[in-house]
Structures are given as C-alpha cells and as structure tokens.
A and B are shown apart, each in its own frame.
Chain A
Amino acid sequence: MYAALWRALPGPTWAKGLQALVLLGAVVVVCFLWVFPWLAPLLPFTDVTVGP
C-alpha cells in the first residue's frame, strides 16, 4: 500500500518525502476538523447528561 504510494509520487526522493509529509498533514487535518467531530457524538465516552 505505502510502497505503491511511494512509487506513484513523482520526482526525486526529497520531493517524494515532502509530498508524503503534506499528505500526512492533510489526513490529520481532515480527521481533526471533520471525521472526529462527526464520530465523537456517536461514541458514548463523553456523555454527561441524564436522559432516557
């Protein structure tokens, strides 16, 4: 998976490394801003209210 991704990235090794870092950062941002805020309310860990 990651080997195939590495081969698919264009340019010399330093450029590949830079692109890999940008992709990693993008994954973190997408997770923090959209995926996790959507996921968290579906999990019970932070419920503080009483209700039926």
Chain B
Amino acid sequence: MSVRRPLGWAGEVLITVGALLLLFVAWQLWWTDVVANRAAAQVVDGLRDDFARAPDGQAGEDATGAVATGDAFALMYVPRLGADWVRPVVEGTGTDELSSGIGHYDGTAAPGQVGNFAVAGHRTTWGRPFHDIDTLAAGDRVVVETAANVYVYAVTGHEIVAPDDVAVIAPVPDEPGTAASDPVLTITSCHPKYSAAQRYVVYARLEQTVDPADLDAARSGEEVG
C-alpha cells in the first residue's frame, strides 16, 4: 500500500492532465468553429439589414477612420471558397475580432481605396474562413461589399512569409515606404495548417467598383457596369 498509494495519485494526475489536453483539442478544433460560425452568421445578417437600410446610390468612399474596433463594416465573398462563402469584415485583428470574422488591419486602407486593404482570417479553428486559401489562383475574385459600393478584386498571386514580415501589408506590398498608387488587397492567414510557423499571404488588385445592386452579378463573375 505504501508503494501503490503515491503511484496511484501520480497516475490519476497524469490521466487527468491527458484528458484535459484532449478536451482542449476538442474545444479548439470543434467548439470554436461552432461559436464562430454562429457569431459570423449573426453579424452577416445584421450587416445585410444595415446595408438594405442605407440610401441607394450613396456614392463615394467608406471611411475606415470612423469604424470602431470590433465593428463589422463590410462583407467579403470569395466564390472560389464556395458559392455561399460570405464573411463579415471586422475592424481590428485581435482575438475577439478574428473569432467572428475577417479582421481588418488597423491603419490600412479602406475597401476600394488607393493603398492596401489588408485583412487577416483564421485558416483553422474559429470557423476557419480561409481553410482553403491555398486554392486561390490568379484571377479569382474577391468581392467586398460595403454600405456604399461593391468592390471586385482579382487575385494576383500569393506568398509564404515569416510571421514578422509586416511588409506584406504595406501600402505597396513588399515595398514599405513606397507611396501607394493602386488599390490592392492583402489577405494573411496561417501556414501550414494547424501551425503558425509561417503566414500564407494572398494579394489581389481592384478590378472594378460596381453598384450594390449588381452584387450577385459581381459574385458570379459576369461583366457588369
């Protein structure tokens, strides 16, 4: 008994730790998806209502300065990731923002503006919006809907970089310090899947700006305007 007792306690502690680790993996891989998908769907519905109420034909830029951290201000559609694929774009790239949608890097350009509209989204866990980001090819559409406009970006390429490579979200990607001349889009996500050793970066360029009424045509790839 004097020998078995302490071993029994140690064994129980080890089994408990193992069970808690498995529980954490289940939470991370399954429950965060449940929570995030529910939150994203709610935000998408709310934004659609907001956009429907916004006055029609309200032209011009959507200023990013006015958006508070955590607020959703746009919807992103990536047809390559699924015909129904839609995610809210939320201001900020903190844990809370990324758990309900695509996060917009503070201080980067607004959708459609000259400069870099830079966003980040999860590749695994938390709804994993960019799980298949590596399937995006040059020419694929990334459609961003705001209250005022629908912006159609076309993918120009991708890159795998180190996590500290902030140049990818510079106004001109990979050329920090250069003044912006084109409206571009940068998406960052993790790479490889289930790791955070690197970042998968997709670049796109603004192709055209269309009226919100032509959203469906823009998503399906028809020529509009």
Q: Chain A interface mostly helix, strand, loop or mixed?
A: loop
1/0 contact string of A40-52 vs chain B (CB within 8 Å): 1100111111111
A51 in contact with B31 given A45-B195, A46-B124, A46-B126 (CB within 8 Å)? no
* B residues adjacent to A (C-beta < 8 A): 9, 12-13, 16, 20, 23-24, 27-28, 31-32, 93, 95, 98, 103, 105, 120-126, 130, 161, 163-166, 168-169, 188-190, 194-196, 199, 201
> How close is A15's CB to chain B, nearest CB, in angstroms?
23
8 examples of A-B residue contacts, CB within 8 angstroms = A32-B27, A44-B196, A48-B188, A48-B189, A49-B98, A50-B163, A52-B164, A52-B166
Beyond known contacts A45-B28, A50-B188, A51-B164: 15 more, CB 8 A cutoff: A1-B9, A31-B27, A32-B27, A40-B28, A40-B95, A46-B28, A46-B126, A47-B163, A48-B98, A48-B130, A48-B196, A49-B93, A49-B98, A50-B164, A50-B199
> How close is A1's CB to chain B, nearest CB, in angstroms?
5
